[in-house]
Structure 1
Amino acid sequence: MCRLSFQVFWIAFLCAWSPFQLGAQDSVKKTVDPSGTWRWEYELEGTQYKDLVRLKLGEDIKDSKDKVVQGKYESTSGKKIAIENGRVSGDTIRFEFKVNFQGMDVKLEFEGTIKNDTLTGKVNASTAEGSRDLDWSATRSVMPEDVVGKWKLRIDANGNIMEPILTVSRDGDKLKASYALGNDVQIQAKEIKIEKNELSFTIETDFEGSKIKADFMGRPYGDKLKGSIDYVLGGDVG
């Protein structure tokens, strides 16, 4: 079994975000990359809510070691709101946005600490009548809606660079995907699934007269994905 590394750059996602660059090394504490989808649940006045925010890392903030964070909050009802004043300093993230709750304008200011795929902190909710702090705990995860769209793969096969396009769609509760390399190679991917926050799929085709099977595995972080490819070419399996 041979293994190749690959990088995937997201080019047409439902939210149509632009690519980002990985955070730079802080001289004291490494800047954490918060890119990805963060989900949390909470109860308010007897109603259970499930909210999320899709984040991506932006450019350096002038005269600061912090970096800009961009993204969109999505409520349980599906309403989307762009975050404001997003920034990450070391492993601490801050952002805010405004909502209207039962006819009242509410400003929500989020601040938390990121450790791997866990984010813990506080939310300050303020209105014209006052403010209060609430506990906040979110988890970064990968769900089918996070991978739907077109991905541009960059595969380095021992110096031979290939840039196929992977198109992922949903058919009910199932994911479908097609793999295209130029106009000559178009293959329907098989066994596409998400397990433990990793996207995986398999393609099978002929290559120069031999059968090739390739298993793709990777972890999406917002609009980027890194992983590996295990492949078997002809009778070569080891």
Structure 2
Amino acid sequence: MVDAHYSNPDLAALYDVFNAWNCSPQDPFYLDLVMAAGEALDVGCGTGKLHRVAREQGHRGRLVGLDPADAMLEVGRTERADIEWTLGDLVQGPYDGQAGGPFEAEFDLVTMSGHAFQVFLTDEQTAANLAGARRALRPGALLAFETRNPAARAWQRWTPEHERRVQAPDGRQAWSAHTLERVEGDLVTFSTAYGIQGWAEPGHSRSTLRFPEAQAVNALLSGAGFEVQAQYGFWDRTPLTETSPEIITLARAV
């Protein structure tokens, strides 16, 4: 099931308000990879801001945004029609079946940005999606994604006291606040409240994310036919350490 903050149209419309381009150093990191790729697939693309900016900056190859939440894709569709917005996932492929089954050897790059990798909650789910990524890539092509380093315990700040406030392009104030519910092994469950000036009531969503360690990630990559090319602890390509906030992975399809 897709979380409400992706499937609810009102909440999906707020996504770019809280995730404006260049609000995170991940944006230029992934953009450089896309601009260097002839054909790129963005998995869990959301509103597709990565590929939208790539088009704006002159990318002329095939760009595909893949997401299981049509409300998010609809935001992308209203912004640009020169990107393939595809409702689906790596395992099943496009949900409408019109484009055939899962992608096969079609891309030079697969990205999973915005911690999309963490929605895979079991080894089985992760392995199946990594196998789908490998199937979608040509031999030697690149998979790029990040997952939060569990040693940094980012969830400790997911409390109402760390409310986030931003200004929408139309000048209205928007806010969001997490409430941590539980931590069970490497699974973290939390709820999020969202609001913007003019709403009578806030919107709510509930999520569970997985925080795998680098060793587990690398084992799953190897089993899916990837070879880790590099891993970083932050977007400036700082080496991964035990206390790094991120596990940023570049892996080659072998």
TM over 0.5: no
Question: Structure 1 or 2: larger strand share?
Answer: 1
Question: Structure 1 or 2: larger helix share?
Answer: 2
TM-score w.r.t. length of structure 2: 0.25
